């Protein structure tokens, strides 16, 4: 257990040794300031934007996840590129739980960023528990992004390309609000579909728990599969 915690802490320390990664730590704060102060002003000037505030918030709730996903995926790709991963591979610990512990810090940071964003946004008075649950589901995007990029990318250049491509299935489900209802569930194969649909129901005052339940089940199953695939390829 101590070894797992030490590695998780060390991952976080590595961020502060790379100036390019430290910049991304400020993005969730910038995102919060834009939603708290910038968006109300712009929506006041251009009133037609008020109809799209739920959609804008959906985009915003995933920004913390993409920021921390980028940071930690670069850490894992760098250790693979420098063969440090092979050193971790000989540690006498479960590789599965070793990966899970390393994914916990970015998950909690992304969840916290989303919680604060929804807490301080001025448009909707959301219940605290619902905020926490939705934010945790949004936070699960982080480990999915990290593992996906670390599995397919061989170096940092490839990693940045794959991170951009990851944004397509991440945000594509938002189009479900602009197409006929018969086509929306085609997008249900993407985990974020359930998060966005649940958020839309939540701000409308409805019961969003079914969407959250399906979203968590979908994301966790996909995450378990990716962790197993990652442990096979990364530490050899």
In the predicted model, is pLDDT for residue 7 greater than 90?
no
What's residue 220's pLDDT?
A: 95
What's residue 102's pLDDT?
A: 84
Cα separation, 89 vs 58, in Å, equals: 38
In the predicted model, is pLDDT for residue 173 greater than 90?
yes
Region 4-9: what's the mean pLDDT?
64
Backbone angles phi, psi at 81, to 5 degrees: -65, -30
Token pair belonging to 221:
């199953």
Query: What DSSP assignment string belongs to 25-37?
Result: TTHHHHHHHIIII
Cα separation, 126 vs 131, in Å, equals: 6
Under 8 Å between Cβ of 147 and 227:
yes
Percentage of residues of the chain with pLDDT beyond 90: 47
Residue 59 CA to chain centroid, in angstroms? 11
Cα separation, 219 vs 108, in Å, equals: 16
Q: How confident is the model at residue 72 (pLDDT cuts 50, 70, 90)?
A: confident
In the predicted model, is pLDDT for residue 12 greater than 80?
no
Can you give the length of the chain in residues?
Answer: 236
Under 8 Å between Cβ of 222 and 191:
yes
What's residue 77's pLDDT?
A: 83
Backbone angles phi, psi at 111, to 5 degrees: -60, -45
Q: Which helix (H) or strand (E) holds 95?
A: helix 95-120
pTM above 0.85, yes or no: yes
Q: How confident is the model at residue 224 (pLDDT cuts 50, 70, 90)?
A: very high
Q: How confident is the model at residue 186 (pLDDT cuts 50, 70, 90)?
A: confident
Backbone angles phi, psi at 214, to 5 degrees: -65, -40
Residue 88 CA to chain centroid, in angstroms? 25
Q: How confident is the model at residue 88 (pLDDT cuts 50, 70, 90)?
A: low
- Range from 117-121, 209-213, 228-232 carrying the lowest mean pLDDT: 228-232
* C-alpha distances in Å from residue 48, one per residue of 43, 57, 118: 7, 15, 22
Q: How confident is the model at residue 111 (pLDDT cuts 50, 70, 90)?
A: very high
Which residue reads 């961020």 in tokens? 15
In the predicted model, is pLDDT for residue 1 greater than 60?
no
In the predicted model, is pLDDT for residue 83 greater than 90?
no
Cα separation, 149 vs 164, in Å, equals: 10
Q: How confident is the model at residue 17 (pLDDT cuts 50, 70, 90)?
A: low
DSSP state of 126: -
Region 183-204: what's the mean pLDDT?
91
């Amino acid at each position: 257990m101590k070894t797992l915690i030490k590695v998780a802490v060390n991952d976080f320390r590595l961020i502060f040794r790379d100036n390019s990664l430290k910049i991304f730590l400020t993005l969730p704060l910038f995102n919060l300031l834009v939603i708290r102060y910038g968006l109300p002003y712009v929506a006041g000037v251009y009133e037609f934007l008020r109809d799209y505030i739920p959609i804008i918030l959906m985009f915003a709730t995933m920004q913390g996840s993409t920021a921390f996903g980028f940071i930690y995926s670069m850490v894992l790709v760098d250790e693979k590129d420098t063969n440090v991963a092979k050193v971790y591979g000989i540690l006498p610990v479960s590789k599965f739980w070793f990966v899970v512990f390393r994914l916990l810090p970015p998950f909690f940071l992304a969840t916290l960023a989303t919680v604060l964003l929804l807490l301080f946004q001025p448009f909707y008075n959301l219940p605290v528990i619902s905020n926490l649950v939705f934010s945790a589901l949004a936070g699960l995007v982080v480990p999915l992004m990290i593992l996906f990029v670390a599995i397919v990318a061989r170096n940092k250049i490839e990693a940045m390309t794959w991170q951009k491509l990851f944004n397509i299935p991440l945000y594509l489900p938002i189009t479900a609000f602009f197409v006929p209802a018969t086509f929306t569930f085609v997008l249900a194969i993407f985990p974020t579909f359930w998060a966005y649909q649940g958020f839309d129901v939540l701000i409308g005052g409805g019961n969003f728990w079914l969407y959250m339940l399906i979203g968590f089940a979908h994301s966790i199953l996909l995450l378990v599969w990716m962790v197993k695939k990652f442990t096979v390829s990364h530490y050899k």
